[in-house]
Amino acid sequence: MMRVLSVASECVPLVKTGGLADVVGALPAALAAEGVDMRVLLPGYRPVLAALPAAETLWQDDGFFGGSARLLRGTAGGVSLLVLDAPHLYDRPGGPYLDEAGQDWPDNDARFAALSWMAAQIGAEGAGDWRPDLVHCHDWQAGLAPLYLKARGVDLPSVMTVHNMAFRGLTAPDRLAALALPGWAFQPEGMEFYGQISALKAGLVYGWKVTTVSPTYARELASPEFGAGLDGVIRARGADVSGILNGIDEAMWNPATDPHIAPYKAPRGKAKVSAALAEEMGLPEGDGPLCVVVSRLSAQKGLDLLLDVLPRLVARGGRLAMLGSGDPGLEAAWRRAAEDYPGVAVRIGYDEALSHRMIAGGDAILVPSRFEPCGLTQLYGLRYGTVPVVARTGGLADTVIDANPAALAAGVATGVQFAPVTAEALATALDRLCDLYADAPTFQKIQRNGMRAPVGWGVSAAAYAALYREIARPR
């Protein structure tokens, strides 16, 4: 059995700020069916340690990145974990990246360099009686691991996965010594990025293979528009870069057994769930589709464009329920929209159970992102017969079949795509949605198509396992 160390800054069910956690938490079980023994290395945040009261200590050091640290081994939520317990780095309130005021922790560079260093340590020396054949690094927080391995002279294969290129893990060059980084790597062909250290670039350059979370996003990253200044690195890596779609946990997201809603078989039972959602959110009856949004509120997600076209949707009899948080200006704007339009309801924050009820009860889920590496909410929508309306970008383009005349005639449409990502194009997409909704047989066909779409991890897990086998050597 191949042994793989997965290195990440978050993992469900222990700590989550976005889709990265879902992927990291789902991969071990999905890959077990492919003959892969995956262990997840996480920082020792308070919730992580609380879930491991009887963890075994495998390693310790009193002078580790400015304090004492231990490597712990345990299991939580069905995931085999290795945890870097370094109180001076992780035992603090707030989230994994931000303090209680919503500001970046000033020592984030050291916090995640330490995580990457520990990944290299495990790669070199093992963790107890377990030693990986390959290290799989997720986003900039684990991006220095391939470099630390190279600096130690450890010839261990690594895979660098980009979940979002917009976050590059930048810090000043005078931090080289404090982060135990080799000076020879601070160059344009290494981790140097316009005079700064980039942890993400280190992973892109020194990782044996680079993946991202959809084929379209892999192609987009090679362009200046989406490459965030690193498009040249992606082009230089050539065939070493590939896109593997994310999947979802089909047991957790199952409309027939979801504990957050009354069990039902969509779309036949969907009207009852929709009515319950409208009542819960305080929405009036309407002649058009009940649309839902479950999202971070940020410029990336295009929710400012949706604000611009709300009058058009409401005029067509549509309603909208939104759950999210993020940019304070967008939060305030959405609160005002809920005051201005009786057909709009807004909940600021995050509520896992409510997100399930919204995705189950909506007729359509709106994802107007300016860029989207993969996206998961559109996959949840497909699973629940909630028709996705998505921008034609990244994984959204790869997972939703547009209801154009050809797809409708062939009976394969699963949603509505639009491009370019502008208010005008979004308004046209919502008009198309309303027209489709008014044609009940056609709309129900689209819902059923979506519910049959492959959204689980089977195909993607096989692709990861094949990539691992291509580069790993039993040790």
Of the CATH numbers 3.40.50.2000, 3.40.640.10, 3.40.50.300, 3.30.390.30, which one belongs to the domain with range 270-452? 3.40.50.2000
Domains 2-247+458-471 and 270-452 share a fold: yes
Read off the pLDDT band of 369 (50, 70, 90).
very high
pLDDT at 252: 87
pLDDT at 266: 53
pLDDT at 246: 95
DSSP string of 410-434, one letter each residue: HT---BEEE-SSSHHHHHHHHHHHH
CA torsion, ordered 62, 64, 66, 70, to nearest 10 deg: -70
Tell me the mean pLDDT in the region 400-410.
98
Rounded to 10 deg, the angle between the 440-452 and 423-438 helix axes is 110
Q: Kindly tell me the number of DSSP H helices and DSSP E strands found in the chain.
A: 18, 18
Please write the tens of the pLDDT for every residue from 231-254: 999 999 999 999 999 999 898 899
Say yes or no to pLDDT of 70 above 70.
Answer: yes
Pairing label, strands 67-76, 56-64? antiparallel
Name which of 180, 173, 359, 164 is nearest 277 in CA terms. Answer: 359
How are the residues of the chain apportioned to helix, strand and coil, as percentages rounded to the nearest 5? Answer: 40, 20, 35
Q: Please provide the distance, in angstroms rounded to a whole number, between the alpha carbons at the two ends of the chain.
A: 11
Say yes or no to pLDDT of 182 above 70.
Answer: yes
pLDDT at 185: 98
Please write the tens of the pLDDT for every residue from 133-168: 999 999 999 999 999 999 999 999 999 999 999 999
Is residue 191 within 8 Å of residue 146, measured between CB atoms?
A: no
Name which of 475, 411, 396 is nearest 448 in CA terms. Answer: 411
Please write the tens of the pLDDT for every residue from 423-467: 999 999 999 999 999 999 999 999 999 999 999 999 999 999 999
Name which of 279, 274, 278, 307 is nearest 387 in CA terms. Answer: 274
Neighbours of 78 (CB within 10 A): 9
What does CATH list as the number for 2-247+458-471?
3.40.50.2000
Q: How far apart are CA 334 and CA 106, in angstroms?
A: 30
Sequence-ordered strand ranges (E) for 343-385:
344-348, 364-367
Q: How far apart are CA 361 and CA 242, in angstroms?
A: 35
Say yes or no to pLDDT of 262 above 80.
Answer: no
Question: How big is the chain by its Cα radius of gyration, in Å?
Answer: 23
Read off the pLDDT band of 18 (50, 70, 90).
confident
Give the residue carrying structure tokens 């309603």.
319
Angle at 109 between CA 165 and CA 373, to 5 degrees: 15
Tell me the mean pLDDT in the region 279-291.
95
Q: How far apart are CA 345 and CA 280, in angstroms?
A: 10
Whether residue 16 is annotated as binding a ligand: the answer is yes
Angle at 328 between CA 324 and CA 330, to 5 degrees: 65
Q: Taking the domains of the chain in order of start, what are their residue ranges?
A: 2-247+458-471, 270-452
Residues ≥6 apart with Cβ < 8 Å to 193: 168, 170, 201, 229, 230
pLDDT at 89: 98
Name which of 131, 113, 135, 138 is nearest 26 in CA terms. Answer: 138
Residues ≥6 apart with Cβ < 8 Å to 413: 401, 402, 403, 404, 407, 445, 446, 449
Provide the mean pLDDT of the chain.
95
Read off the pLDDT band of 271 (50, 70, 90).
confident
Read off the pLDDT band of 267 (50, 70, 90).
low
Q: Give bridge partners of residue 171 from the DSSP assignment.
A: 197
Percent of the chain with pLDDT over 90: 92
